[in-house]
Homo-oligomer: A and B are copies of this chain.
Amino acid sequence: MSLVIVGSLAFDTIETPRERRERIVGGSGTYCALAASFFTKPKVVGVVGRDFPRRTIDLLKSRKIDLSGLQIKPGKTFHWEGRYGSDPNQRTTIKTDLNVFQDFKPELPPSYRDADILFLANIDPDLAGPVFGQLRKRPALVALDTIRFWIDTKPEALFRTLAGVDIFFANDEEVKLLGEDINLIKAGRRLLRLGPRIIIVKKGEHGALVFTKDFVFGTLAHPCEDVVDPTGAGDCFAGGFLGSLDRAGRRGPAEIRKATVFGSVIASFAIEDFGIDRFKTLTRREIDKRYRDFKRLVAF
């Protein structure tokens, strides 16, 4: 059991229809590791500047997240600014300052190099090769998430990386774009032919669909009455999914279905507060209760 997450740790400035928050902690790696930490002890590879808050490091450590792969560099932490409209599925990027993330060279400490599950969370697809090169053996599962930015700017590198991964997380827009079909199901099935054995389509408030060669699984999102900040929901979904799979040990259809629901449940908590705030109080007991409630909600 070990899950290695390569991703960003960042400051986010977020505007929702109700509120604006300046420079709160975010980042795909941060969200994903926090979500996974309710199931396993994730190991993080990333980079921050000297301005990254000590108390966030302490929070991550208190959740048993291994930070030996986190580089602290002179300079500023990655900063993203975005705005949400009334539809939380739609957001506009206002500014992206890569800062120390610009020259990020992932370095895996020796204790990371036997990872069972490796997750490349929204990083430059050109960094995949150097990460693979540091591993002692091929992980049982390699997972990849991406963003529109890499599809637009580095499609060849992305397709090359995609060919070597087992699990690909993407939202519906990205699946339709990469699968070259306006029908999500057809596009999803098509992506299966590009390499991954499992395609996980994150549909935000509409849930998630999982395509594999053997079965399709779908789940709703937990109905959320108060979406405070949708940032990081997808990263938390991936973190919960992979954390749950890592904990389960086995990776058959039953475990994949369960992991999908855990991913969805963790994401439903994350969006109840700004940034990573909800993780400061969240407990495994709350997660298990919502999992059971959700099971009742969809039973027929």
Q: Which of B183, B206, B218 contacts A226 (CB 8 A)?
A: B183
With A207-B220, A216-B223, A218-B220 in contact, do A257 and B300 touch (Cβ < 8 Å)?
yes
Q: Which of B209, B219, B226, B258 contacts A223 (CB 8 A)?
A: B209
Range, interface on chain A: 35 or more
Q: Spell out A's residues near B (CB within 8 Å).
A: 17, 86-87, 182-186, 189, 203, 205-207, 209, 215-220, 223-227, 254, 257-258, 260-261, 295, 297-300
With A203-B206, A206-B203, A206-B206 in contact, do A300 and B223 touch (Cβ < 8 Å)?
no
Neighbouring B residues of A254 by C-beta, 8 Å: 300
Q: Are A185 and B225 in contact (CB under 8 A)?
A: yes
Which chain B residue shows the least CB distance to A208?
B220
Interface centre among A209, A224, A300 (most CB of B within 10 A): A300
Q: Are A297 and B216 in contact (CB under 8 A)?
A: yes
Which chain B residue shows the least CB distance to A226?
B183
Copies of this protein in the complex: 2
Q: Are B218 and A297 in contact (CB under 8 A)?
A: yes
Cα distance, A215 to B183, chains bound together (Å): 32
Question: From residue A17, how far is it (CB to closest CB) to chain B in Å?
Answer: 8
Q: A186-B225, A254-B300 are in contact. List 19 more A-B contacts (CB 8 A).
A: A17-B182, A86-B182, A183-B224, A183-B225, A184-B205, A184-B223, A189-B225, A207-B207, A207-B220, A216-B223, A217-B297, A217-B298, A218-B220, A218-B298, A219-B298, A219-B300, A257-B300, A260-B300, A295-B300
Q: Which of B218, B225, B261, B300 contacts A261 (CB 8 A)?
A: B300
With A206-B206, A206-B207 in contact, do A224 and B300 touch (Cβ < 8 Å)?
no
